[in-house]
Chains A and B, each alone.
Chain A
Amino acid sequence: MPTATTQPQTLSGSVARCTRCNACVQSCPSYLLHKEETFSPRGRVQILRLLLDRKLKYTPHQTPINQTMQDCILCGRCTLACAGQVPVAHQVLALKKAVSLPVLPFPCKTFLAWHARHPRWFDFAVRFIQRLRAWHLFAVFGENMIPLLRPIAHLHRILPAPKQNLRQLLPKTRFHQAPKKPEIIFFPSLEARYIDPTLALTALDCFGNKEVLLWPEMHSGLAAYLLDDEKLCLQQAKRLLTAWEKTGGKKKLPFVTDSWEVFAFLKNYPFLFARLPGWEKRARIFAGRVHFITDFIKAKKSYPQKTALDFSGLLSLPKETIFSAQKILKTHFGKNFVECEYSRFPVPAEIAALSHVSQAEKMILESVKQIASKQIKQVFCLSAWAAWELNYALQKHYPCAQAKNIVYLQAKNDRI
């Protein structure tokens, strides 16, 4: 009996793995809105196959291809449902890059580009905007004057009130000084660094008394990957790998993050270095030590409210982590935890914030409908953006429920 084959390294190889069984279809938020094969994950893979086989020719104004690729919100839920783990989101991303379709809407892409290439500008811009409370300006311009800003026009409504950022808050905590003998490395998400530092502090609570090293470097390579800057992506990934190896020495310290996307991306490092065998081996060891914050959340007493888990995220996510998050919530909420299948329950809230506005609104409304029909009172999200976005929609349409980041399960009462 042959053993399981590894994931194919080439695009055509991974496209060929699709057996057209259609198991993915009900997990795709975009299909559930359209109910057409063209907008299904199977349809997208087949488009790629036809393009690769040269049976279909791409022209820049080919509306159906552009539309279906743009409607893919890269949530990766199809991969979770797929027996062969076909990475549809990665394939769509590759096609978008190849034909120069925008991966993200204009304002998000610009911020991401600053973050990847000019971290100082990014830092300055975010602090400047926060200081001036300029989100409101976005709203005014976005809604009334500049259509390009529409995707971020509602940010002032979803983001928490501006606070001091993590750099300003840290000196008041024990994490200010880098420990001499760190036991754990923590890589905070961008949201935790800039927008809601409470999130980072709560996440740090999860480690108890352990010596935690707050990772100083901001880049994992994800932003550069999304921007299709392969050189920069590899450069940043190599830098992170080397720094991690140096920090722990032979100990191989656990590398923990509260960013769902960064976690998924770090877990995929070996595939990133597929063409560099030496680096691939190192990346494999590193990927084995990468953890999501849920691995450190301790289960507490049971709460009486009906609760669900939203596992919104970008690109394909590791199933095991969803299961571990579900396990924590089950322990916390016992029978009140509403277990959800991959299909039909909540559609990715986070991506909705980054996708086309018209489609995002429909998707998020679907999500709220599902929550209301199951009379759920609390939804825990694995990502901060997802929690904010979903919470905003819930407040608007179904105020009896609220969405929180899963990290807050660990919070002391005053921090919730």
Chain B
Amino acid sequence: MQISARVLKRLKNLLGKQNVLTDEVSLSLNGYDCSQTKHRPDVLLHISQTAQLLPAVQILTQEKIPFVVRAAATNHAGSCSAVRGGAVININKLDKIRRIDTARLFAEVEPGVVTAQLQEELAPLNFFYPPDPASEKVCTLAGNLAQNASGARCMKYGNTTDNTLQVQFITPQAERLVLSHRQAGPDWLGLIGGSEGTLGVIESLQVKIVPTPKCVKTFLTTFPSLECAVQAVTDLVARGLIPRCVEAMDHTTTCAVENFAQAGYPTDAQALLIIELDADTQQIKKDALLLEEICQRNQCLRFTAAHTENERQKLWSGRRAAYSAMSALGPNIAVADATTPRSVLPQALKKVQQIIAKYGITASLLFHAGDGNFHPQIVFNAAQKEQTLLVNKALQEILKTCVDFGGTISGEHGVGVEKRATMAYQYDQSTLRLFEQIKKAFDPHNLANPGKIIPLSYTQTARQHLEQNPEVLALSEEIKTRHRLGKTSLICGSNTLLKTQKPTLSAKHLNRILDIDKTNYTATAQTGVKVADLIAALQAQNVYAKLPQDYSGTLGGLTASKICPLFTDQLIGLQAILPNGDFVNYGGKLMKNAAGYNLCRLFVGSAGALGLITKLTFKIYAQPQAVKPLEDFVFSPADILLRRVKKEIDPQGLFLSAMFENNL
């Protein structure tokens, strides 16, 4: 793509001559990241002040030049390569921490602030920022949000999206919006988390900060099999003990790490867990006893606690050196981040090991046992094309295996270019089309980081949707008929206050609780279930969800109205029927999912404007959970975004909504 001299002049006037570069070297060095993908941009823009970001995007939008925002470029998916050329915007110079407010528990930062830099500033104040991606010493906070990075502490504290409170955001149409979880309407902040810069540019962020726990204790346990180790983690959750981190390694990795870093790991076991607890001094003693009891019951071979800080650091040194240990074995490493439901993790790992053996490649398996996320690290030599092809083939097979086990192709690294084709294996055609519609609504000219996430052609390859439930199928047929006839419908919950003469649609009759899974600690229910009934059913099985006791409506109503954000944050899977009668399916029993846009966050608070939610999967707990009373929204909704997405998904306006129509 040729950038005209006139455009370059405009950019140079804005940013300064030295910040608009078109030389061969600068362009070649800004087209790669940690993955195998390389695509050269046509111009490189260095942004040195936040105020330059909006006018720069404005010029690029006006001139229809694709742009990719680039921070530390540490992602493993090819998310910041300029697939279609255009401009690369370097935001590394925007690295100011603007404010740390320990009273209101947030920090306001510019997008290029390095995660470790924020942690360093927070440490003397006895606070910390919860997400800890492995690359935290170099990765930036905006990059983390764009990829929805998580890390070892994710099990207890959640991922980057959960820990971001507010974002100043520039859409690809060069509008500045403030997005927050506490806005009425869909959770746009949740949607842009993990969108890999395809929906716009992050201009500044407010992130959650948490007081440093008084006491942190780390334990090393070994087990005779992976099954025992995973069962121990499940039992921990079942007893209501959520550790700060649960990191696991298989036998091969333990041996490689011990050989490399001499961290004192026993090499006689098939599985090794590093478990870290944080609480106050009294509580941690109780928790440690409980942890030991659970590990012993699951045939643990060894249970060691780190008594001093040095011992603790030594235990972690091995885990941290895992990547280095593998690096020492060969020139290149391919890392995947597939995720499966925790219950099937041992079977999935076994299958993955078979694939590794089949292809005759050297690979280690590291995993975050708490959330079913595992990282096969394959050692290879990129200089040998045959070997590279073989490794890519093996990786594809591993990802597909995880999808077959009900998992996802990406838990935390994102899709980018490298896993784009596999998306068609995970999602059905209508879900992929919805992803495309969301992208088009935000970015009609396909300028913001084009060519990422959505497969280029999926009509032939996308998996088929298989819905068995006759009631849901009937509802879909009904919507299809109405779509054909161009009839409008109003989706109403059982608790609706609307008095309307318009034809209504309801999921009231879909009132079955489909599954309460005490291994993964998830529940799946149809949306017509009354919240009170759901709470009772869960309590009967001694499990709890963050559901409000005083809500008289249905699960669907609670979700679509978003009046209990604490519950809607817990959603991990969803099935909905779109205005054209197609099904969309997203997520499942997965604690992490970074593949595609987060549809749960889109449908939450959409008040029936975008589709009819038929089924939801959410997290449950072994202990009663504190639920805040229903709260008011603080910010006005980002109407402009909802209107655009609505126009894409429902161009005929068949699903009426109180958010748009005043005459209902």
A344 and B90 CA atoms in complex are apart in Å by 20
List residues of chain B with CB within 8 A of the CB of A26.
114, 116, 137-138
Q: Given A4-B329, A22-B72, check contact A47 B324 (CB 8 Å).
A: no
* Nearest Cβ on chain A to B255's Cβ, whole angstroms: 6
B46 at the interface (CB under 8 A from A): yes
Closest B residue to A8 using CB positions: B331
List residues of chain B with CB within 8 A of the CB of A13.
331
On whether the beta carbons of A20 and B25 are closer than 8 Å, the reply is no
Selected from B29, B117, B327, B381, the residue in CB contact (under 8 A) with A47 is B29
B399 at the interface (CB under 8 A from A): no
* Nearest Cβ on chain A to B567's Cβ, whole angstroms: 38
A46 and B73 CA atoms in complex are apart in Å by 14
A290 at the interface (CB under 8 A from B): no
A16 at the interface (CB under 8 A from B): yes
A177 at the interface (CB under 8 A from B): no
List residues of chain A with CB within 8 A of the CB of B381.
16
List residues of chain A with CB within 8 A of the CB of B74.
21-22
A396 at the interface (CB under 8 A from B): no
Closest B residue to A83 using CB positions: B324
* Nearest Cβ on chain A to B308's Cβ, whole angstroms: 14
On whether the beta carbons of A83 and B29 are closer than 8 Å, the reply is no
On whether the beta carbons of B92 and A84 are closer than 8 Å, the reply is no
A85 and B331 CA atoms in complex are apart in Å by 11
Selected from A23, A68, A343, the residue in CB contact (under 8 A) with B135 is A23
A3 and B379 CA atoms in complex are apart in Å by 12
Instruction: Of the listed stretches B30-38, B428-436, B599-607, name the one at the interface; the rest are far from the partner chain.
Output: B30-38
* Nearest Cβ on chain A to B408's Cβ, whole angstroms: 23
On whether the beta carbons of B327 and A22 are closer than 8 Å, the reply is no
A84 and B321 CA atoms in complex are apart in Å by 11
On whether the beta carbons of A46 and B138 are closer than 8 Å, the reply is no
Closest A residue to B381 using CB positions: A16
**Proximity bits, B13-49, A CB within 8 Å = 1, else 0:** 0000000000111101110111000000000001000
B582 at the interface (CB under 8 A from A): no
A358 at the interface (CB under 8 A from B): no
On whether the beta carbons of A38 and B25 are closer than 8 Å, the reply is yes
On whether the beta carbons of B95 and A84 are closer than 8 Å, the reply is no
B259 at the interface (CB under 8 A from A): yes
**Proximity bits, A63-85, B CB within 8 Å = 1, else 0:** 11100100000000000010111
Chain A, 1-34, CB within 8 A of any chain B CB: 1-5, 8, 13, 16-17, 19-23, 25-26
* Nearest Cβ on chain B to A326's Cβ, whole angstroms: 13
A21 and B335 CA atoms in complex are apart in Å by 11
* Nearest Cβ on chain A to B242's Cβ, whole angstroms: 29
B93 at the interface (CB under 8 A from A): yes
B152 at the interface (CB under 8 A from A): no
On whether the beta carbons of A84 and B29 are closer than 8 Å, the reply is no
On whether the beta carbons of A25 and B327 are closer than 8 Å, the reply is no
Q: Given A22-B135, A26-B138, check contact A36 B46 (CB 8 Å).
A: yes
A412 at the interface (CB under 8 A from B): no
* Nearest Cβ on chain A to B22's Cβ, whole angstroms: 11
On whether the beta carbons of A35 and B95 are closer than 8 Å, the reply is yes
Interface size on A, residues (CB 8 A): 38
* Nearest Cβ on chain B to A5's Cβ, whole angstroms: 7
B316 at the interface (CB under 8 A from A): no
**Proximity bits, A339-355, B CB within 8 Å = 1, else 0:** 00101100000000000
On whether the beta carbons of A38 and B333 are closer than 8 Å, the reply is no
A56 and B31 CA atoms in complex are apart in Å by 14
Selected from B93, B327, B382, the residue in CB contact (under 8 A) with A84 is B327
Q: Given A21-B74, A56-B25, A64-B23, check contact A37 B33 (CB 8 Å).
A: no
List residues of chain B with CB within 8 A of the CB of A146.
none
A2 and B46 CA atoms in complex are apart in Å by 43
B55 at the interface (CB under 8 A from A): no
Closest A residue to B75 using CB positions: A22
B330 at the interface (CB under 8 A from A): yes
**Proximity bits, A38-75, B CB within 8 Å = 1, else 0:** 10000100110010000110000011110010000000
B590 at the interface (CB under 8 A from A): no
**Residue with the highest number of chain A CB atoms closer than 10 Å, among B73, B138, B323:** B138
**Proximity bits, B366-404, A CB within 8 Å = 1, else 0:** 000000000000000111000000000000000000000
List residues of chain A with CB within 8 A of the CB of B50.
none
A5 and B117 CA atoms in complex are apart in Å by 34
On whether the beta carbons of B72 and A20 are closer than 8 Å, the reply is no
List residues of chain A with CB within 8 A of the CB of B114.
26
Q: Given A4-B328, A83-B323, A84-B327, check contact A20 B95 (CB 8 Å).
A: no
A81 and B74 CA atoms in complex are apart in Å by 15
List residues of chain B with CB within 8 A of the CB of A19.
34, 327, 331-333
**Proximity bits, B243-277, A CB within 8 Å = 1, else 0:** 00000000010011001100000000000000000
Closest B residue to A81 using CB positions: B137
A56 and B29 CA atoms in complex are apart in Å by 11
On whether the beta carbons of A47 and B25 are closer than 8 Å, the reply is yes
B362 at the interface (CB under 8 A from A): yes
On whether the beta carbons of B26 and A38 are closer than 8 Å, the reply is yes
Closest B residue to A64 using CB positions: B25
Chain A, 212-232, CB within 8 A of any chain B CB: none
List residues of chain A with CB within 8 A of the CB of B260.
4
List residues of chain B with CB within 8 A of the CB of A3.
259, 329
On whether the beta carbons of B329 and A2 are closer than 8 Å, the reply is yes
The 5 closest A-B pairs by CB, nearest first: A83-B324, A4-B328, A84-B327, A64-B25, A83-B327
23 A-B residue pairs with Cβ-Cβ distance under 8 Å, sorted by A, are A3-B329, A4-B328, A8-B331, A16-B383, A20-B34, A22-B34, A22-B135, A23-B137, A26-B114, A26-B116, A35-B90, A35-B92, A37-B26, A37-B30, A37-B70, A46-B28, A46-B29, A47-B28, A56-B28, A65-B25, A83-B324, A84-B331, A341-B137
Seen from chain A, the residues whose Cβ lies within 8 Å of a Cβ on chain B are: 1-5, 8, 13, 16-17, 19-23, 25-26, 35-38, 43, 46-47, 50, 55-56, 62-65, 68, 81, 83-85, 341, 343-344
Beyond contacts A4-B259, A43-B29, A341-B137: 18 other A-B pairs, Cβ-Cβ < 8 A, are A2-B329, A2-B362, A3-B259, A13-B331, A16-B382, A20-B33, A22-B34, A22-B135, A23-B135, A26-B137, A35-B90, A35-B95, A36-B92, A55-B28, A65-B25, A83-B321, A83-B327, A83-B328
